[in-house]
Amino acid sequence: MAINVVMPKLGMAMKEGTVSVWNKKVGDPVQKGELIASINSEKIEMEIESPAEGILLEIAVDEGKGVPPGTPIAYIGQPDEKVVSGAQEEAAASIVAEPEVPAPASPQVKETPSHVTISGEKVKISPVARKMAAEANLDIQTLAGTGPGGRITKEDVQKALENVSQQSRPEPPARKENETNTKADQASRPLTGMRKVIAERMHSSLQNSAQLTIYMKADITELKTLQAQSAASVKRRFGEKLTITDFIARATILALQVHPLMNSALIDDSIHERNNVHLGMAVALEKGLVVPVINDAEKLSLSQLSASIRELAKKARENQLGSEEMTGSTFTITNLGAYGVEHFTPILNPPEAGILGVGAAEDQPVYRRENLERRSILPISLTFDHRLVDGAPAAVFLKEIKGYLEEPFSMLV
């Protein structure tokens, strides 16, 4: 009996997983433990191993398709082994299909099971191939299957569509001078995985909150001096130097304890106040961004906080974060200073009340009393939910962070 390869559940909050890429084709031999596909869900990506040795009999979920956890995405067995019809029906039902809109003049092709009998003849066809054929109004009786046991595969349908397209393609009209084919320069792909989740959450955030951003500049000259003076001793004791980001995180945590409303959330017309600071630190990745969370950050020393930031950032870039390490934040920090950005307007990470944006520090001439001095100025911005926090208390909170950064020794006591 063929073995199901199912969509795994990557964390308690997972509702849907997407197949990013198939490493094997139908009919390919696979070994137990061999990587056969890559999947992603929300902000987690992982590779799928074959649960058994055999032949990849059928791919039930195409690349870019999303299905719930536990849905069969492929079947592995012996050559010419039949896939259990019930399992195929379950897989087909789990795939989210777009509405079928047949052409008015073409006969409508009704969906049939993977093994159907038409005019006394059994037709073997995979669920994905059946869906593609139905959408294109192809008669599956005219298709030649190249899969195990003559099964019609996705590739067979694609080949048939190419043949039909070539036969029915009219002569292209003569192109006018200076006329360009804009469609030739366009490419499209489905919005899936991490990018899809980010798109949905950011759009929802802007639609469901009243966001306002305010800006300040902090003089971090003394902070950079303290960082440089303590670098050698800190590295000798703890193995790593403290970064400006570590101090910014520490200042934010202390400010949140003084202004607990910025550490709260508005959920279903109720204000949820949090006693502990669960600090989210946005990390940019090649395919998007993630926000690992430092739980109970107020209980950590500066060196412990620094170690947690480094560890979570490393795990994020190596795709080793668990779903529990990316949920439950009460406030977030996002830093674009490394890219030369000054002020920007970060978008809230729902349901948080605020998010701190950090820009690039620059040396600027500044008058102090009657003297013109060279000072290091750091731009910071605060986006907050105006439904929960008014402008004045938000400004006081941001000024609190600014104060800690300008008097860094206050963060050490």
Q: For 170-208, write each residue's pLDDT tens digit.
A: 655 655 555 555 556 777 877 777 788 888 889 999 999
Say which range, 4-18, 193-207, 376-390, 398-412, has the weakest mean pLDDT. Answer: 4-18
The whole-angstrom separation of Cα 128 and Cα 158 is: 11
357-383 mean pLDDT: 94
Report the pLDDT value the prediction gives residue 395, as an integer from 0 to 100. Answer: 98
For residue 109, pLDDT over 80 is answered with no
Considering only CA atoms, which of 261, 211, 219 is closest in space to residue 380?
219
Report the pLDDT value the prediction gives residue 84, as an integer from 0 to 100. Answer: 67
272 is catalytic: no
Report the pLDDT value the prediction gives residue 127, as an integer from 0 to 100. Answer: 62
The mean predicted confidence, pLDDT, of the chain is 83
Residue 30 token pair: 């696979």
| pLDDT band for position 168 (cuts 50, 70, 90) | low
363 is catalytic: no
| Chain-centroid distance, C-alpha 280 | 15
Q: What are 39-58's pLDDT values in tens digits? A: 877 667 778 888 989 999 88
| pLDDT band for position 13 (cuts 50, 70, 90) | low
CA angle 77, 81, 83 (to 5 degrees): 80
The single-letter code of the amino acid at 228 is A
| pLDDT band for position 216 (cuts 50, 70, 90) | very high
Q: What are 256-315's pLDDT values in tens digits? A: 999 999 999 999 889 999 999 999 999 998 878 899 999 999 999 999 999 999 999 999
**Other residues' Cβ atoms within 10 Å of the Cβ of residue 66:** 22
235-244 mean pLDDT: 92
17 compared with 96, residue with greater pLDDT? 17
Q: Residue 133 burial by CB count (10 A; 0-12/13-18/19+): exposed, middle or buried?
A: buried
Classified as helix, coil or strand, 163 is helix
373-382 mean pLDDT: 96
Report the pLDDT value the prediction gives residue 113, as an integer from 0 to 100. Answer: 43
Report the pLDDT value the prediction gives residue 208, as an integer from 0 to 100. Answer: 93
Residue with tokens 């959408």: 135
Residue with tokens 């795939």: 95
User: Does a cis peptide bond (omega within 30 degrees of 0) precede residue 350?
Assistant: no
**Strands 371-385, 354-358: parallel, antiparallel or unpaired by DSSP?**
antiparallel
**Strands 331-335, 354-358: parallel, antiparallel or unpaired by DSSP?**
parallel
Please pick, among 28, 80, 296, 390, the residue that the annotation labels catalytic.
Answer: 390
